[in-house]
Amino acid sequence: MLLTITYTGKNTQDLGYLLHKNPYRAQSFDLSFGNAYVFYPKVSNEETTAALLLDLNPIDLARGKLGSTEGGLFDYVNDRPYVASSFLSTALVRVFGTAMNGKCDKKPELVDQPLDLTACVHMLPCRGNEEMPKEVFEPLGYTVETRQTELDEVFPEWGGSAYIDLTLHGNVTVAALLNHLYVLIPVFDRQKHYFVSEEEIEKLLKHGEGWLNAHPARNKIVSRYFHMKRSYAHKAIDRLIESEPVDDADVGDEETEKAEAQVPDEVREKRISLNTRRLDAVKNAVLESGASSVIDLGCGECKLTAMLLEENQIKRVGAADVAVHVLEKAKQTLRYDRMPPYKKNKLTLMQASLTYKDPRFSGYDAACVVEVVEHLDPQRIPAFERVLFEFATPNTVVLTTPNKEYNAHYEWLAEDTLRHHDHRFEWTREEFKAWAAQICERFGYIVEISEIGDVDEACGAPTQMGVFRKCV
Amino acid sequence: MVGATSSGKSSFAKKHFLPTEILSSDFFRAMVSDDENDQSVSREAFDLLFYAANKRLDLMKTTVVDATNVQPSARKQIVDLAREQNVHAVAIVLNLPERVLQERNAARPERGYPEHVIRKHVSDLRRSIKNLKREGFRFVYVLNSEEEVNEAEIVRTKMWNDKKDEHGPFDIIGDVHGCYDELVALLQKLGYENSEPDGFAHPAGRKAVFLGDLCDRGPKNVAVLRLVMKMVKNGHALAVPGNHDVKLVKYLLGKNVQITHGLDRTIAELEQESPEFREEVRAFLDGLVSHYVLDDGRLVVSHAGLKQEYIGRGSMRVREFCLYGEATGETDEYGLPVRLNWAADYRGKATLVYGHIPQLEIQAMNGTWCIDTGCVFGGKLTAFRFPEREPVQVDALKEYYAPVKPLSPQQNVSDDMLTAGDVQGRLHLTTALMPSILVQENNAAAALEIMSRFAADPHWLIYLPPTMSPCETSELDGYLEYPTEAFAYYRGRGIQNVVCEKKHMGSRAVIVLCHTEEAARKRFGVTDGSRGIIYTRTGRHFFDNAEIEKEVLARLDAVLTKTGFWTDFNTEWVCLDTELMPWSEKAQTLLSKQYAPVGRAGRDALAAAVAALEETCKRQNRAFEVDAVTSGQNVEPMALLERFRAKRDAIDGYVKAYREYCWPVHSVDDLKIAPFHLLASEGHVFNEEQHVWHMEKLKQYCTGVDPIFMATDYICVDTADDASVQAGVDWWLKLTGSGGEGMVVKPETYIAKRQTEVLQPAVKCRGAEYLRIIYGPEYLLPDNLQRLRKRSLSRKRSLAIREFSLGMESLTRFVNKEPLYRVHECVFGVLAFESEPVDPRL
């Protein structure tokens, strides 16, 4: 919410002309979300500092503007009024728009003149991206200084905060500095206060003119600028580079990136291939069992379900998940509404829980439980066992779960942590074997356990799969 | 109805039945085609008709099919439906002379049928009449003339099994199998007196109910038969037949039966009796009705149990179930049939008592009770008292007959799986406080996800706390909430005395603790060796670390043992409503993701802004005349400085506020637990006790021994007394002035009503500083405060009352030993309501 720009040199009061703001006058501007103030803490021949201060109304943010019927976007307890975010960019355009366009009638000779400028951005959200300030500003010729802050000095154990004070020194034109800030501040924060629409592409191209295309972190900047809107990022990059193809890996979508921020790229790629191999293995196990009907328990977004639907051997497919929003997403992925009747009739989608006995689970030849058990609390496993093996009793159960021992291969994973934050446990190969054995003993099944993924001599493979067959 | 067209079926039906009882083919023809005479849509019309009939019969409603039904194929559909629904099909035949029909038809030109149609109808009908019984109609009434039709009267009789007007109380007695001495001892123990010539009778008018299998295997079969027959005859007992009784009847009728399973003993005894007595026995046993529905439908008895969809119905299928239960068709290692566990799926409202399966102990599941405790095999003879729901037992004097398979000990007590059907779709819940609570399907779906992914074992979840509404907003300067509004809420609703309890700023924690693991297993059906739980308001384990939970529970048990709670309350378990501190223990994510960052960003940014403005104020600033459209408005830096200083002070106050509720936890010793409701223990839900009782009992038994369990300060306020109100306000000011969150104002009684309306069980009133962490650091700035005063509480309050009703109901059901699914549906309902979007700041 506070940006200061300092000009050092001779006759630095000229900064007032460049910014079109009189150094001897404090001014206020109405913005749609509050006020912006411009004032000069320091004015002298040698050094002049202009300050842009935002005054956001937290109640407006939380409740929507006074008199409007739309609710607000934010919580009452919110960092928005205090941090440097897209609000600041919007204010820059409103307050310094002329300067950003490189216009100055009174001192036209200064417009294209690089000056010694220092910009100080207070409280820039920068979680987990310590290198990013340098990565994005240094190629533009700035010296970058950052000051880290801790979350609360009374509770040092809570660790550091996500905010930095960012100071940039450079010999640049005022217009360039302002345009750099306009584009790059929201790149750090990624939470935008307005609906991101296609018009944003124009804005980005305009303010990035002359520097963004050649920027080494261009793709990252663009994709983060458009955060949720992957397609806009693609379009913007296409237009920036005029048809040079874009590498998909650089333009991740928000959700996966959020969850995977800690995971190195090569691991991510490996994981994608592991998932494919896993689903193939499960599908093959189902087909080999001779099943003509199968239920995908914990179907998630129905990746496996979709594969099973394609198989001619399979005449009936059930897909169950407990999360309604996931099922909604699955319907989109499957294009459920437009599915041809012969396929749609094959498929039954249902919200269902694996810890409640459910007659809808019965009557399938096979059941798949892929990467699901580890999401159940250990205390709920007995209920799950009975729901599946005592009441649903499919002839074949194909169940996969991570092999904990293999976690040693994931260097990015701290010791004694699980692969996913929602995993309640992960089994070693011995533990899985023991669990499977008692299932067979109690419910009359035989099991064959195999491994999926690259097998390591000491640790086994990343995924273990049990194919249970009912004894008749 | 059976009759040719124009025979007056519709008029007859209208005369004798309710319009809604009559499903007429004409009506459904019109429904699908707008023309009741359009024969081309008969198929569609009958589809609908039978759909409706099916729904009515699901609900056991008398249903009249008003169609010609002169063809066997048409009638077959009706008989099939009756069989499927286990109800009786009755044929009322209007068999009028063809002449009459032709005359009537001629008088109805608008729908006149060709003569031959009527002739055909009449001949079809004539041919049908003698076959109706064989086709499966249980009763057939043929009316052969207009006089008979006009004079006919419909008398509705109850099903034989309908004895809803018998209210007992009852002593239901399991399989006797000729154990006469034990039966006499049991009857005496139950208080029955034997006086000749009437036989056994209870002085208080209780009624015995025999669950069948009176004879075979045991030593004195005839004596048992005599005793029971006399009691039934004199109206002191009811009896339903068992499989052994039915077999005996077959034998007595001279049919070929295998003389096995102890039938030989009964036969040998009966050989000594007169033929008249044998005939009396036969007639008695043959006349027994498969099951009885008693006491306005609250109690159902049969020999081998009953599925809920069969209750009150009559068919061979129902009768066979009552006699034999349901088997898979397989046999176990002893050669006995493997039984289907129908009781696990029983969801009926009626208590269902049955015998047939001998076990060492009474077996209760989902409101069904198997009370055959194998007397003849050397076990016990059991009577089940209803409505008391208690067993009275006598031991067998000896083992009269060796069981094929040893009597099984108690089955797995947790064999009560919840089923998806219990909680999916729109739920309609009935509670003592609110007769009808509706849970919408989308809320139930959300609750299913939370329950499945995060909640603890449902066996432990006997209660979820209700949400709590704040008081109305205050108009007082500098306050959004103030005690006078909380007092006014209750006073305005006729509640004069209230209790103010200190509101601890921690996290809600419900504690269920059993004194022993055995109690946890027996009472809660929890078999993993734990003996209690601490869970959050959404049913999750409070602690991720099971060891901490275990230690806290052990320390609570030590306290309760030391203070004598277990003995004084005569209980093996207790359920407490508590606040667990520090807040940071459960809210660490919220703190490090939201609260602390806002504090950090706010403090640094505002400090920098104030510094910059201070610098600016040191210099001369001037106002210029400007065009405000293209340029900014003039602003006085001093005014800005004041504004930002106020913001800085606000953020400092905010940080101070949240820090109050945070401290590091290195061990259990760093926790603080403040119990404030003693919710329930064996036999009691303490919602008839006043809040002061709760406070004092908790002080006496729970707090002051182990420092982690702390008492809650409270004062009583008389809302009609100004001085008392002022004392309450002062108490709150002091509390919140020293960093307290605020207080909770409750009516004197646990449940407060105005006429039938249930009032808020509690209203909170939060301190001015505390509210910074709810409404944001700057909420007290005058403009902000004025806007925040407008807030609607009605939704929150409506939810609070529904959730409170469900919470009380789930505890009551648990205390009454109702089945898991009945407790769970209430808990589930609370969770479903919590998924409703409601302003989280309230």
Distance CA A287, CA A467 (A): 12
CATH of the domain at A341: 3.40.50.150
Per-residue pLDDT averaged across B650-668, rounded? 92
- Cβ of A37 and B612 within 8 Å? no
pLDDT of residue A422: 87
The overall average pLDDT reported for chain A is: 87
By CB atoms closer than 10 A (0-12, 13-18, 19+), residue B408 is middle
pLDDT of residue B397: 95
CATH of the domain at B218: 3.60.21.10
Considering B117, B151, B185, which residue would you say is the last residue of a domain? B151
In a domain, B642, yes or no: yes
Distance CA B301, CA B3 (A): 40
User: Chain B: nearest CA to A57, how far in angstroms?
Assistant: 9
In a domain, A214, yes or no: no
In a domain, A63, yes or no: yes
8 Å CB contact between B91 and B136: no
Cα–Cα nearest to B324, from B361, B355, B351: B355
Q: Is the confidence at residue B763, as pLDDT, over 90?
A: yes
- Cβ of B605 and A2 within 8 Å? yes
B725 C-beta neighbours (distance < 10 Å), count: 19
User: Chain B: nearest CA to A455, how far in angstroms?
Assistant: 31
Same domain? For A143 and A276 the reply is no
Same domain? For B258 and B288 the reply is yes
pLDDT of residue B116: 87
Per-residue three-class SS string for B298-364: CEEEECCCCCHHHCCCCCHHHHHHHHHCCEEEEECCCCCEEECCHHHHCCCCCEEEECCCCECCCEE
pLDDT of residue A249: 37
Distance CA A259, CA A251 (A): 15
Structure tokens at B309: 């969809």
Q: Is the confidence at residue A260, as pLDDT, over 60?
A: no
Per-residue pLDDT averaged across B298-320, rounded? 93
Q: Which of A240-254, A406-420, B469-483 has the highest mean pLDDT?
A: B469-483
Considering B345, B378, B395, which residue would you say is the last residue of a domain? B395
Q: What are the residues facing B302 on neighbouring strands?
A: B291
Considering A152, A177, A194, which residue would you say is the last residue of a domain? A194
- Which residue in A42, A163, A352 is closest to B615 by CB distance? A42
Q: Which residue of B has its CA nearest to A361?
A: B420
Same domain? For A294 and A411 the reply is yes
Per-residue pLDDT averaged across B263-287, rounded? 94
User: Chain A: nearest CA to B741, how far in angstroms?
Assistant: 17
In a domain, A245, yes or no: no
In a domain, B236, yes or no: yes
Same domain? For B603 and B524 the reply is no
- Cβ of B637 and A26 within 8 Å? yes
Same domain? For B67 and B102 the reply is yes
Angle between helices B221-233 and B180-189 (to 10 degrees): 40
Same domain? For B220 and B130 the reply is no
The overall average pLDDT reported for chain B is: 92
- Cβ of B634 and A27 within 8 Å? yes
pLDDT of residue A163: 93
Q: Is the confidence at residue A272, as pLDDT, over 90?
A: no
In a domain, A246, yes or no: no
pLDDT of residue A256: 42
> Residue A83's pLDDT band (boundaries 50, 70, 90)?
very high
Per-residue pLDDT averaged across B450-462, rounded? 93
Tens of pLDDT along B195-253?
888 889 999 999 999 999 999 999 999 999 999 999 999 999 999 999 999 999 999 99
CATH of the domain at B23: 3.40.50.300
> Residue A74's pLDDT band (boundaries 50, 70, 90)?
low
Q: Is the confidence at residue B647, as pLDDT, over 70?
A: yes
Predicted ipTM of the assembly: 0.82
Q: Domain limits at A335?
A: 265-470
Same domain? For A338 and A438 the reply is yes
- Which residue in B417, B448, B619 is closest to A357 by CB distance? B417
- Report the C-alpha dihedral over residues B209, B213, B214, B220, rounded to 10 degrees: -150
Same domain? For B226 and B110 the reply is no
Scan residues 89-128 of A and list those with Cβ closer than 8 Å to B.
95, 122-123
In a domain, A201, yes or no: no
User: Chain B: nearest CA to A179, how far in angstroms?
Assistant: 20
Q: Is the confidence at residue A186, as pLDDT, over 70?
A: yes
Same domain? For B339 and B375 the reply is yes
Per-residue pLDDT averaged across B345-349, rounded? 88
> Residue B369's pLDDT band (boundaries 50, 70, 90)?
very high
Same domain? For B647 and B521 the reply is no
Q: What are the residues facing B339 on neighbouring strands?
A: B327
Same domain? For A325 and A429 the reply is yes
Same domain? For B70 and B145 the reply is yes
pLDDT of residue B327: 79
pLDDT of residue B484: 96
> Residue A241's pLDDT band (boundaries 50, 70, 90)?
low
Structure tokens at B440: 């919408």
> Residue B593's pLDDT band (boundaries 50, 70, 90)?
confident
Distance CA B644, CA B647 (A): 5
What are the backbone dihedrals phi and psi of residue A416, each rounded to the nearest 5 degrees, phi first? Answer: 60, 20
Distance CA A15, CA A11 (A): 9
Chain B CB within 8 Å of residue A328 CB: no
Q: What count of Cα atoms within 13 Å lies in the side-chain half-sphere of residue A450?
A: 12
In a domain, B731, yes or no: no
Scan residues 545-584 of B and list those with Cβ closer than 8 Å to A.
none
Same domain? For B180 and B43 the reply is no
Same domain? For B543 and B509 the reply is yes
In a domain, B405, yes or no: no
pLDDT of residue B202: 95
Provide the number of structural domains found in chain B: 4
- Cβ of B417 and A387 within 8 Å? yes
Same domain? For A289 and A185 the reply is no
pLDDT of residue B353: 96
Per-residue pLDDT averaged across B64-75, rounded? 93
Considering A194, A227, A248, which residue would you say is the last residue of a domain? A194
Same domain? For B39 and B77 the reply is yes
Same domain? For B252 and B346 the reply is yes
Q: Does A77 or B164 have the greater pLDDT score?
A: B164
Q: What is the reported pTM?
A: 0.81
Distance CA B809, CA B466 (A): 12
B160: phi > 0 → left, psi -120 to 50 → alpha, else beta; which? alpha
Considering A159, A194, A229, which residue would you say is the last residue of a domain? A194
In a domain, A221, yes or no: no
Distance CA B69, CA B5 (A): 10
In a domain, B140, yes or no: yes
> Residue A297's pLDDT band (boundaries 50, 70, 90)?
very high
- Which residue in A53, A152, A357 is closest to B600 by CB distance? A152
Distance CA A451, CA B164 (A): 63
- Which residue in B454, B606, B784 is closest to A82 by CB distance? B606
Provide the number of structural domains found in chain A: 2
Same domain? For A273 and A186 the reply is no
CATH of the domain at A134: 3.30.1610.20
Pairing of strands B90-94, B139-143: parallel
- Cβ of A356 and B622 within 8 Å? no
Q: Domain limits at B328?
A: 162-395
CATH of the domain at B686: 3.30.470
> Residue A103's pLDDT band (boundaries 50, 70, 90)?
confident
Considering B131, B151, B171, which residue would you say is the last residue of a domain? B151
User: Chain B: nearest CA to A376, how far in angstroms?
Assistant: 6
In a domain, B765, yes or no: no
Q: Is the confidence at residue A65, as pLDDT, over 80?
A: no
Chain B CB within 8 Å of residue A379 CB: yes
Lowest mean pLDDT among A122-131, A422-431, B4-13: A122-131
Pairing of strands B363-365, B368-370: antiparallel
Distance CA A332, CA A145 (A): 46
Tens of pLDDT along B524-564?
988 888 999 999 999 999 998 899 999 999 999 999 999 99
Residues 6+ apart with CB under 8 A from A322: A298, A351, A352, A353, A354, B448, B449, B452, B453
